[in-house]
Amino acid sequence: MPEVVGRRALPFEPTYQGIETRLLDGDLVGFIVEMQGARDEEDVEDYALCAAAQYTLIRGYGFVRHVRTRVAEEAGLWRADAVYTISPALPSGPTNIDAEVTVEDCKARGIPTV
């Protein structure tokens, strides 16, 4: 039986290609991020979340809620198109993200933000 390798054991040498931010409507914000060297979709989704969390803090808000993320990879370039809502107070719902805690985690992991 072949040995299963966890994603943390895979080589990871990312090159972060940039972040595009789009205010869609009021508290709804879109982010497009691109990177090379991702292990899988999770790496590029994390990059988008880091961008959203920092943007939230820049706007003086404290919380982020994930709406959707679309990920594609072509010739080694990973791209995520993600949408989040941002909020100054803890919104209702099970998927709220504390922006300040997330940005600190991103910094510790070496993932750039806005």
For the segment 31-79, what is each residue's pLDDT rounded down to a tens digit?
A: 999 999 999 999 999 999 999 999 999 999 999 999 999 999 999 999 9
Structure tokens at 41: 């979709």
Mean pLDDT of the chain: 91
**pTM of this prediction exceeds 0.85:** yes
User: What is the DSSP-derived secondary structure letter of residue 17?
Assistant: E
User: What is the DSSP-derived secondary structure letter of residue 65?
Assistant: E
Alpha helix (H) residue ranges in the chain:
41-58, 99-109
Q: Nearest-5° angle of CA 57, CA 41, CA 104?
A: 30
Model confidence at 5, pLDDT cuts 50, 70, 90, reads low
At 46, the amino acid letter reads: D
